Structure formats: structure tokens, C-alpha cells
Amino acid sequence: MKLDGRRSSKNVEDRRGKSVGKATLGIGGTIVVGLIVWLMGGNPMDVITQQLSNTSSTQQTYKPNAEDEKSAEFVKKILAGTEDIWTEIFKENGMTYIPPKLIMFSGATTSGCGGASSSTGPFYCPADQTIYIDLSFFKQMKNELNAGGDFAYAYVIAHEVGHHVQNLLGTLGKVNQEQQRLSKKESNRMSVRTELQADFYAGVWAYHDNKNFNSIEPGDIEEGLNAATQIGDDRLQMQAQGYTVPDAFNHGTSAQRKRWLNKGLQTGDITQGNTFNVPFSNL
């Protein structure tokens, strides 16, 4: 991506290297962390059990290197880009966009949704309207998921911002209420719809960012679509356990994630991203 001359967001807090105490997770935090770890092909209970401990922890000394600082600046510029685009889109639709905060951490931190560690991956907490990310996740994407590339990393940030957009529009609140009355299978399907819409919103951002700043370079879109493919529930479950459990999917298959990200990239039209009105088999 071409980001030279672009501004950096001021809505970023750098907690890297700071010691924190382990916070006890509430129900919401447990769900958030569990879903993200499952996305990464791990066992959610391993992290949740660890997080539920009340003992304090001290992080190892963290000294950012040149690559870490480059990643931090990259995140700030991408976040700034989402601020510019979503402010514009909300204004066009008679609304006011309130940007999310982003917290960079190393090892572990606390959030409005409970405790988090680097193993949970990036996530959005609606309770404090904040995105949390350990920048080492980008290295994991490249080395463990075969999903490297600057546009792939931007997609991660834009996806979490997509959840913030859902929160501002009231979508997350409605989903949460609906899930309380649904079976586990149907609740997972509701989560899939939510995640695919966040993928779509990430694509919408990229469409407008490129339109305004000519930011997308050759190969960028392929990087993003590859990342969407690599983190599909079916692919991650197959890699983790050798088989898939479709009723347990909560983020969408590789094909679904790629499809909705690409739809946002091609249309840039938020009215075409209502994943909740599409028959589940057609997602």
C-alpha cells in the first residue's frame, strides 16, 4: 500500500512493555476471547482458564525494534485512513462517526471486555469502543498463516473497525440480544453473519481509501483476499484437528470471507452488505 505522506491517527495508546494484572473476564469478555482463539485454530478454554486467574503478572522486558516501530506507524496510518473514510460515509448518510480508540500492547493487557493476551489475537471491545492488538500478530500472519503483506495487515485493522461501525449502527447490540434466545448452532450462524459483514466493511473502507488516496498497489487486493481465505473457519479447523465442524463455525468459511471482503472492495456501497437478510446457505 502507498501510505507516504499520510497522517497518523492520534486515537492510539501504546501499552507495549507495560506490566498489567490479569483481569477476571466477564461473560462478554469470555465470549470475545473464546471466539478469537477458535478463529486461530486453538482451544478457547486454554486461554479462558488462564485469563480467569486473579493472580497478577509482570511482562518480560519489551524493547521495540525497527520492524516493530514500522508496524506501529503502519497501524496508526491505517487507523487514520479508516477515520477519514468512515467519517465521510457516515456524514453522507446523515450520521456522525465517532472513531474507535486503538491500543497496542505486548504480551497481555486489560480491556473493557476483560483480560487479553497476545494469543487472543486482535479484537474489538464494544464496552470501551476500543481495538486491541499485539503487533506480533502480523508476524504470526506471515509465518504461521501464510497471510503476510501490508494490505493483509490493513485488512485486519479494517475488519476490527468494521465491528466498531456495527456497534455505532446498533448491529452488535441487536445481535447480542438475538443470540441470547438462540440455540448454539443458530447463535454461531449469527456470529458468522456478523463477521462477514465486518469483512465487507473492511472492503468498503479499502474501496474508498483507494479512491481518495490511490493507496492500493498491484498485488494488494490479492494479499487481502488470500488473508481472508487463510483465516476461514473451515481451513483453520482442518489445520488444527484434521476435520471440520460446520455447526461450530463462527467467522465464516474461506470462500465466504473472501466473497464478502471482495464485495466490499468492488462496490464500496454499505447498503450492499446486509449479511443478515441473506439466506444462510447463500452467504
The answer to whether position 2 is within a domain reads: no
pLDDT at 18: 84
Question: What CA–CA distance (Å, rounded) separates 86 from 80?
Answer: 10
Q: Which pTM value belongs to this model?
A: 0.86
Beta strand residue intervals within the chain, DSSP E:
12-14, 101-105, 108-111, 114-117, 123-125, 130-134
Strands 108-111 and 114-117: antiparallel
Report yes or no: 135 and 164 within 8 Å, Cβ to Cβ.
no
Give the residue numbers spanning the domain of 169. Answer: 12-282
Residues of the chain with pLDDT under 70: 19-61
The domain total for the chain is 1
The answer to whether position 74 is within a domain reads: yes
**114-155 tens-digit pLDDT:** 998 888 889 999 999 999 999 999 999 999 999 999 999 999
Mean pLDDT of the chain: 87
The answer to whether position 3 is within a domain reads: no
The answer to whether position 255 is within a domain reads: yes
The answer to whether position 1 is within a domain reads: no
pLDDT at 14: 96
